Amino acid sequence: MTVRFDKLFDSAVRQAARRLFNRPFDREGGVTESSFKDHFSGHADDYARYRPDYPPALFAWLAETAPARDRAWDCATGNGQAAVALAEHFGEVVATDASETQVASAFAHPRVTYRVAAAETSGLEDASVSLVTVAQALHWFDIPAFWAEAGRVLRPGGVLAVWAYDRFRCAPEVDAAVDRLYTDVVGPYWPPDRKMIDDGYPVRLPFPRVEAPPFAMAKRWTLDEVAGYLRTWSAVRRYQAANGRDPVSLVLPELRAAWGEGAREVRWPLFRHVGRKADVRSGGGGSFSNER
């Protein structure tokens, strides 16, 4: 099925506004109150400290794949780690997040401009970026509305890249303790949107796919760093708020026995999906298909 962006954008964004903000647009096209799904602002400092880094090779490959290296948009930037990495390859990176707290805690970089904005209503100009990236966040979006927004702001031939990572893997005995925390202890506290990651991050891109190579995502961490990372999980925070105790402490003895001394390598499975908007010069126009 083929849908024109100019028709889809208006209806999709307005529907997204009603769902995300529970209010219609005002007469000037703005929204007066936000109620987006914010699972991370309450621990933005820990999020910035303990979240794993994305592989530099990913950003180098995206820069090579984009039609130009002038301007990129990192959507739902969080602490800005992807935006800062992109800035090593692009002249300007606009990094948006719906959380004022996350934006206030983000890493500074002279070529990164941070803005508070919802994914579906970025405020960017039409056809103004060569690359759009979403790291570990697409599952929180109104995806059809975001596809429309990405199609609006991307230049012809521009690239859309989304990726996410699952639970880290280390060794069977360590993985067993982490899995028990994930499923048995805080399982009921995961937001429903998280299931997309559990299912292997199936994504139906709005543009023809670009085959992306595999990228290794790993850190060498101590047990204290692992525990700090586990405490950034949204389900851990929700469990703690509901029960008044730290759920990580429930598995820490098992995790400590399995871990041993010193630092160990932990690895995250990285799901990635990349597509390219049609170039009007090749006759593709401004439409997209829903092919997977």
Token pair 């390859």 in the structure block, residue: 89
Q: Are 292 and 200 in contact (CB under 8 A)?
A: no
Q: Are 100 and 118 in contact (CB under 8 A)?
A: no
Q: Which two tokens stand for residue 160?
A: 């859309």
Token pair 């964004």 in the structure block, residue: 13
- Alpha carbons 144 and 53: distance in angstroms, whole number: 28
pLDDT at residue 123 in the model: 97
- Alpha carbons 60 and 62: distance in angstroms, whole number: 6
Considering all CA atoms of the chain, what is the largest pairwise distance in Å, rounded to the nearest integer? 61
- Alpha carbons 190 and 5: distance in angstroms, whole number: 34
267 CB contacts (<8 Å, ≥6 apart)? 168, 169, 170, 216, 217, 218
Give, for all 292 residues of the chain, the pLDDT tens digit. 333 333 333 333 333 333 333 323 232 333 333 334 444 444 456 556 777 889 999 999 999 999 999 999 999 999 899 999 999 999 999 999 999 998 998 999 999 999 999 999 999 999 999 999 999 999 999 999 999 999 999 999 999 999 999 999 999 999 999 999 999 999 999 999 899 999 999 999 999 999 999 998 999 999 999 999 999 999 999 999 999 999 999 999 999 999 999 999 999 999 999 999 998 654 443 333 333 3
Q: What number of other Cβ atoms are within 10 A of residue 27's Cβ?
A: 5
Q: Are 131 and 153 in contact (CB under 8 A)?
A: no
- Alpha carbons 259 and 252: distance in angstroms, whole number: 10
Instruction: List own/partner pairs for 111-118 with CB under 8 A and 24 or more apart.
Output: 111/87, 112/80, 112/83, 112/84, 112/87, 114/77, 114/80, 114/83, 118/16, 118/20, 118/34, 118/36
Q: Which two tokens stand for residue 113?
A: 């401009």
pLDDT at residue 178 in the model: 98
Cα first-last separation, the chain: 12
- Alpha carbons 212 and 288: distance in angstroms, whole number: 20
- Alpha carbons 202 and 290: distance in angstroms, whole number: 13
Q: How do the residues of the chain divide into helix, strand and coil, expressed in percent and rounded to 5?
A: 40, 20, 40
pLDDT at residue 169 in the model: 97
- Alpha carbons 111 and 126: distance in angstroms, whole number: 21
Buried b (16+ CB within 10 A) or exposed e, 152-168: bbbbbbbbbbbbbbebb
Which pTM value belongs to this model?
Answer: 0.79
Give, as one character, the DSSP assignment of residue 139: G
Q: Are 74 and 163 in contact (CB under 8 A)?
A: no
Q: Are 186 and 178 in contact (CB under 8 A)?
A: no
